[in-house]
Amino acid sequence: MTAMSTMLTLLDAFDDLSQARSLRERTYQALGDTVVDVGCGSGRAVGELAARGVRAIGVDADPDMIEVAIERWPASEFHVADATALPLDDGSVTGYRAEKVLHDLDEPERAVIEASRVLAGGGRAVLVSQDWDAYMIDSDDPRHTRALVRARADGVTHRWISRRQRNLLLDNGFTDVTVEVHTIVWTDASCLPMLANIGGEGAWFEEQAARARDDRVFVAIPFILAAGTRVG
């Protein structure tokens, strides 16, 4: 399996969860009628927003992801672009959404500055990131599990970005900033692709697969949602 197909498998497995759908629904609130989804991936949020009558614009730095998004949502608008240099005019959107993207950026603050640029006065920015250091996994070997989670977190450019989102908005002129924690919980085999990505093949993963077969798996990940309003 290629890296691209592995990533799509992980994204699709997550996006199909009812809890993930509920989280997306929460992020769509009060975004207005013109929304840019930054780091749009395969385009799920763009397609869902467009179905609501919103002009939704998907942006991703990965041309392969944009190709998938266009194939899946041919009626929607997508662009290959960096989060810090969006192909949009100043004040041209009423909503800005970035889910599971800031942790991969070299300079996430520049993306928030760019969000302020493209948002109209009174526009809403929504940032969503998981806490990479706070993965909760039940295991017969908690010490090894903790080491695996830490190793995975250490491979992320900004593994603690979810904890900084509120301050990033405040430091860049956003007001009415709010923060929510939404914890996604898995108790079935749908979490196995993600666990394989964390632990690879071997005894640890086999234990988790056995737990899934016996209805004894437990995985939980907190996602931090921070939102703010651009000063007019």
Q: For the chain, how long is the longest CA-to-CA vector?
A: 56
Is the model's pLDDT at 4 over the cut of 90?
A: no
Q: What is the pLDDT averaged over residues 86-105?
A: 98
| In the chain, domain spans | 3-130+157-183+223-230
Beta-bridge mates of residue 77: 57
Q: How many helices (H) and strands (E) does the chain have?
A: 9, 8
**Any residues with CB less than 8 A from the CB of 140 and at least 6 apart, and which?**
207
Of the candidates 189, 188, 201, 208, which has an alpha carbon nearest to the alpha carbon of residue 142?
Answer: 208
Question: Residue for token digits 């950026």?
Answer: 105
Return d(Cα 221, Cα 200) in angstroms, integer: 19
Distance of CA 101 to CAs 40, 75, 121, Å? Answer: 9, 24, 24
136-182 pLDDT, tens per residue?
999 999 999 999 999 999 999 999 999 999 999 999 999 999 999 99
Mean pLDDT of 120-134: 97
Q: In this structure, is the dihedral angle defined by the CA atoms of residues 64, 87, 39 and 107, taken in order, positive or negative?
A: positive
The single residue listed with the structure tokens 């300079």 is: 107
Residue keyed to tokens 């996602």: 223
Task: Look up the pTM and report it.
Answer: 0.95
Angstrom CA distances, 46 to 36, 38, 50, 86, 231, stand at 8, 10, 6, 16, 25
Q: Which CATH architecture has domain 3-130+157-183+223-230?
A: 3-Layer(aba) Sandwich (3.40)
Give the tokens for residue 188. 């079935």
Q: Is the pLDDT of residue 91 over 70?
A: yes
Is 90 exceeded by the pLDDT of residue 57?
A: yes
Q: Where are the beta strands (DSSP E) in the chain?
A: 34-38, 55-60, 77-80, 93-99, 119-130, 136-137, 174-186, 219-230
**pLDDT tens profile 18-48:** 999 999 999 999 999 999 999 999 999 999 9
The pLDDT, as a whole number, for residue 53 is 97
Predicted confidence (pLDDT) per residue in 210-226, tens digit = 999 999 999 999 999 99
Coil vs helix vs strand at 2 = coil
Asked if residue 1 has pLDDT above 70, the reply is no
